[in-house]
Structure 1
């Protein structure tokens, strides 16, 4: 047992070092070569980071209605014009920005000119400069906000203040994703590869909230699989940690809460059906009121079509909606391959790492005479696939409702507004191929007395992978 623990710690150390070395090298390149305000949806990420740093992230918004009849909540933030009126901000897709990872961003020089401009007090949004500071739950911008706050209070110029926000976001990402590598019992090197892909590192070194989504999803998946390999029931503390991560998934970006379906795949010897229902109920009881209150007061959902008309159409023609999203899912790999090396190279790295993990995983033979035994044996793989498609379906549904007119779209037509980076946070599900329920577990708890439970809980705490 001690030898196994020592070997696990050794794998964790090497995998984390591999992740840190590659990520820091790539991150240094992006921090140096790509402008701080060259990113997708800069009017959201940069402005929300500034609002968090200046304590304006919870400013009450003004309510109105757009030309499509959608409710609009405009959150006004005030501050230095050099941060809020930056004309050099470049809004582009991730893959367009990193098409040549070593190229120097041509917009960076103009972004640096803000250091030499006079400072005036302005308020966003206005006629020329939009703002979407209240689209996501405020905590997703906490790392960037801390970095920008430090930059503002140390007398740095505007460009270096943004750089501080990027560095803080990167450090937070490295910590959380590194923690996920430590927590996951197997597939550590695949996790290291997934965490250090250069499209992912670009997002982590930017002001984007995607770094938070990716790292929190990785932590949830890693912690779940660490619990799945135990031979003792999940303790209250462990369930509390899983509960906290689930609430974060829901609050940060609701589509990723589908990962919580994994909990229902745990054998009854680890978590009984009653405790699974309790876990689900508590997660909803905590997350729904918080998200509902914030959403009703603050959240603004930008749209270029009538969301109400699309919603009515969706409920009248659910099969058409399902077919269109399914068609887009099947076409997605073709779309990725057309982008070129920016996608092809990291895809090949992931595929190679996954194949190595797959070949090195040796599941115990399954009783072929019992189909249900096979289903139970590969339960984590099946549920991971279900969770993946649920997240993908929901990720497509959001732009389908807000960016596309469902009433005139054909069944087989591309959904505008969807970006491949929305699926990056669920890539750690690929590690499911090396996890199987413990050999002696069943769907019911083994008999034990109260003393056994106390001792088991104590041992489970002392051997927690997060220690």
Structure 2
């Protein structure tokens, strides 16, 4: 029942299942991410304005875009063969998978022929696509079919996500079972099993929280190597997904909880890590949006800014409504945290969402045998939980505000694009804050572990069955 072993075992089994069952492109935003990786694989760091989105003509149903780049034609034709985009007469799901042209997909190879493609993942850095670029370059060198390259990329993304989460569980001094339960959420495993920016970005988020808390709870001064590790992890996180740079706030726990890190000589490297990591995030954000957005997007943002200027409370009202009442357009937010797949049309059933809420609530009570016994001072015990909760609320609100200002049309009462998977790296903040400092509950630890693993396993089985049923068993008639 070691959390590291459970993560690798269950994560690998169900991750490989989702890789096999979900066709190419059916995970959220997967076509855009594979197109972005192909663009980077061909040496194009940033995109350009395009007059004709040829990808949308090849893959029928793909929305037209005005910003993107050039990709090999075979990459675009892969998604045409798998019919991933919904059509009015051919809805997403079992009818689509039954018409996948696997023979055509297996025969596609990368050549010099390119097409212009609209790429909505344009702002993502090469770092998050490392697990995809490796098989892309290798496959291009060995003339492997694009389909093989795609599945190899999924496998490497799963390995990267599980490895970073495994490292976070090893490092975090308190809350190893918290990190395990978040790592085994169906959404986490499904995103790790996709060609996406999420495996690296989410994994780095877990690792950043774990490393900062590790240093905060150690009973020794911070070594030079640890400052370098902090800088490397947080800078990589900021480049991977600038929105997650808010997790730099966890570093405030270092001087708060580690009495050896309050000396004057420790403040200089602490500030350097903070500033350089934030600068890395801002620098990539500047590079990623080097070209102006489309006129339509610019007009929408300007209209939203004007509306907010005249209605300053609109943001707060919309955030409150989205987070606590509506739960996001098309149920993206709350179910999306716990389990969604296949272009957000398959959600984990409500009873399992309740069970997972209960399991996450119980996870702070479970202690691994090598967790820190740190108790801290009365002040630090009071300030740390309050600070972590405040950071969780602030980071969540900033993500919501960003989506509201950029993607949401003026006067709308819900935030558009608020998906649960964006909040996965933030959940450990809230749960670590709930860890009791003195209660050990040794007599029921074994039962708690069994309950948590049972709920995690049952939820993954349910999600696997539901995904299989939706995609491949149209005549079964079982809906959870």
Common fold: TM-score over 0.5: yes
Write the distance in 2 (CA, Å) between the matches of 1:228 and 1:423.
23
Deviations 1:383-434 (A, max 9, x none): 221221222112222331233222x33xxx2222221111122222223433
State the shift of 1:219 in Å: 0.3
Alpha carbons of 1:143 and 1:359: their partners in 2 closer, same or farther (altered >3 Å)?
closer
Shift in Å, 1:196: 2.0
Shift of 1:125: 3.2
Structure 1 residue matching 2:79: 3-state secondary structure: coil
Instruction: Determine helix, strand or coil for the equivalent of 1:35.
Output: coil
RMSD: 3.8
Partner residue of 2:314?
A: 320
Match of 2:67 in 1: 74
Greater CA deviation, 266-275 or 43-52?
266-275
- TM-score normalized by structure 2? 0.71
CA deviation after TM superposition for structure 1 residue 375, in Å: 5.1
SS in 1 for 2:72: strand
2:370 is the counterpart of 1:380: no
Q: Decide whether aligned partners of structure 1 residues 343 and 421 sit closer, same or farther in structure 2, where only a CA change above 3 A counts.
A: farther
| Residue 247 (structure 2) aligned to one of 253, 256, 259 | 259
The residue number in structure 2 matching 1:457 is: none
Q: Higher mean Cα deviation, 324-333 or 420-429?
A: 324-333
- Kept in 2: contact 1:150–1:164 (CA 8 A): no
SS of match in other structure, 2:191: helix
Counterpart among 42, 45, 68 of residue 58 in structure 1: 45
Structure 1 stretch displaced more, 352-361 or 227-236: 352-361
Change (3 A) 1:296 1:256: same
Query: What's the counterpart of residue 389 of structure 1?
Result: 393
Q: Give the structure-1-normalised TM-score.
A: 0.73
Q: Is structure 2 residue 356 aligned with structure 1 residue 349? A: yes
Encode CA deviations 1:366-396: one digit per residue, 9 max, x unaligned: 9xxxxxx755313222122122122211222
CA contact (8 A) 1:33 1:104 kept: no
Within a 5 Å distance, the mapping from 1:15-414 to structure 2 comes to: 15-52=3-40, 54-59=41-46, 61-62=48-49, 74-84=67-77, 86-87=79-80, 88-90=82-84, 106=97, 109-110=100-101, 113-116=104-107, 122-125=113-116, 130-267=118-255, 269-272=259-262, 274-275=267-268, 276-296=270-290, 303=297, 306-331=300-325, 335=331, 336=334, 341-342=348-349, 344-345=351-352, 348-349=355-356, 351-358=358-365, 376-406=380-410, 408-409=411-412, 413-414=413-414
**Are the counterparts in 1 of residues 221 and 260 from structure 2 also a CA contact under 8 Å?**
yes
Check the 8 A contact 2:25/2:31 in 1, yes or no: no
Gap runs ≥5 in structure 1:
1-10, 65-71, 367-372, 438-467
CA distance in 2, matches of 1:343, 1:271: 45
Shift in CA distance, 37/343, structure 1 to aligned 2, threshold 3 Å? farther
Could you report, residue by residue, the CA deviation over 1:232-256 in whole angstroms, capped at 9, with x for unpaired residues? 2222321221122222222222221
Distance in 2, Cα, partners of 1:360 & 1:176: 21
Structure 2 unmatched ranges of 5 or more:
52-64, 337-345, 439-480
Cα offset for 1:116?
3.7
- Paired residue total: 397
Q: 1:211/1:115 Cα in 2 relative to 1: closer, same or farther (>3 Å)?
A: same
Q: 1:132 to 1:404 in 2, by over 3 A?
A: closer
- Determine the C-alpha separation between the residues in 2 that align with 1:186 and 1:402: 37
Contact 2:84 2:96 in 1 (8 A): no
SS across alignment from 1:234: coil
In structure 2, C-alpha distance between the alignment counterparts of 1:436 and 1:266, rounded to whole Å:
17
